[in-house]
Amino acid sequence: MAAPLMGNVLEWYDFAVYAFIAAYIAKNFFPTSAPATALLSSFAVFGVGFLARPLGSLVIGRIGDVRGRRSALLLTMYLMTAGTLLLAILPTYATAGVIAPALLVVARLLQGFSAGGEWGGSVSYIVEWSPERRRGLFGSLHVFGVIGGFLLGSGVAALVNSVLSAQEMADWGWRVPFVIGCLIGPVALWMRRAVAETPAFEKAVAERVAPIPMLEDKEGCKLAIKAGGVSVLSNISFYVMLLYMPTWVTTNLKLSMADALWANTVGLVCVFVLTPCFGLLSDLIGRKKVLLFSCAAVLLVAYPAFGHLLALESATLKDVVLVQCIFAIILASIYGVQPTTIVEMFPTRNRTTWMSIGYGLTASVFGGFAPFIAVWLIQTFQNPIAPVYYLIFGAILSAFFTFAIKETAFETLK
């Protein structure tokens, strides 16, 4: 499992580091006298990457079901490395004019296409190798890759912001995180080339269980809708609380970007540590109970937590870290259980196709544009804690779909 996890770290580092330096990208690619408009444009391009995710989910997910999980994992790594390389060498608006933001969009589309196939392929690979009664625990390790990637991205961005001046960051420092991603990408490719195919897929091939044609697979479509519904909260909370949060802190509180990123990094560490605990708990008491707890926790905690920060006349780094850690517990309860839950919903023969489509569409609609929606809500309602409304919406929707799914923790993987 180490090979797909290592690749997953680098895959999501490359994809997420963009959000942590969005303010500098806005200055270099969207010059305008209105900083808020430039920031909106920057986050809109971040969201563009998610427009390609459903297509990546469809194409790479199908490859995973027809050619094997290993082939899909290699393809996603090649595509993500190419997109990151393009980001590292892009000319700015001052150098290339409108060509610069156009190439920025192309790079994000490449990364989005890759990410669309990565999630379903890697989580299927891990869960299909897991021991029968510990699928929740082992499936939660997939989040080690995702959170590890975001943690690495947040840490690198925080370090670069701490070492370089604001002017140096604006001039050339924003490229450094992308260059690092390009340098370590070949390591993940080398590791993934050595992995073996999963027993579940090999069994399906041996038994000649071919994937059902997509247009005929009505049951798979229904399950994909349910899987997408269950994952609404995870996508909204992840991109609001872990990607947009540093920008929110520097915009609404008297803290530097370096402080905001360090607080974010602490929160990511907490999620990283706590996630397998909730995965193991779901093996013992079931997936649905843990997921419903996370929905209830968001409804109860989100508004008071944001309100607490704004109520302070001068919030400190310690205050922000406290809020990040509180949300880390909730986020860990989601990410420790959701991957395995979605894998268990589908049969092996069509697993990566439909689960990738269901999750990819939700990530595109609700997650990719979450930072953009957060900024829009604040401007529309003239209320700094307006993003909380989006979190509450996600909790209600995911709770509805979680009630509708079957408990699969104690059943054999299909």
| DSSP characters over 87-123 | HHH---HHHHTTHHHHHHHHHHHHHHHHHHHHHHHHH
Decide if pLDDT at 231 tops 90.
yes
Check residue 210 and give its pLDDT. Answer: 66
Residue 22: pLDDT over 80: no
201 pLDDT above the threshold of 70: yes
Q: Which two tokens stand for residue 45?
A: 């391009």
Residue 33 has pLDDT above 70, yes or no: no
Provide the pLDDT confidence category of residue 289 given band limits of 50, 70 and 90. Answer: very high
CA distance 412 to 414: 6
Could you report the per-residue pLDDT of 320-332, keeping only the tens digit for each?
888 889 999 999 9
Domain ranges of the chain: 2-404
Q: Are 157 and 20 in contact (CB under 8 A)?
A: yes
**Residue 184, C-beta contacts closer than 8 angstroms, at least 6 positions apart:** 10
Residue positions counted in the chain: 414
Instruction: Classify domain 2-404 by CATH number.
Output: 1.20.1250.20
pLDDT given at position 166: 81
pTM of the full structure: 0.80
Under the banding of pLDDT at 50, 70 and 90, the label for residue 15 is: low
pLDDT at 397 over 90: yes
Report the pLDDT value the prediction gives residue 401, as an integer from 0 to 100.
95
**Strand, coil or helix: what is 201?**
helix
In percent, the amount of the chain with pLDDT more than 90 equals 20
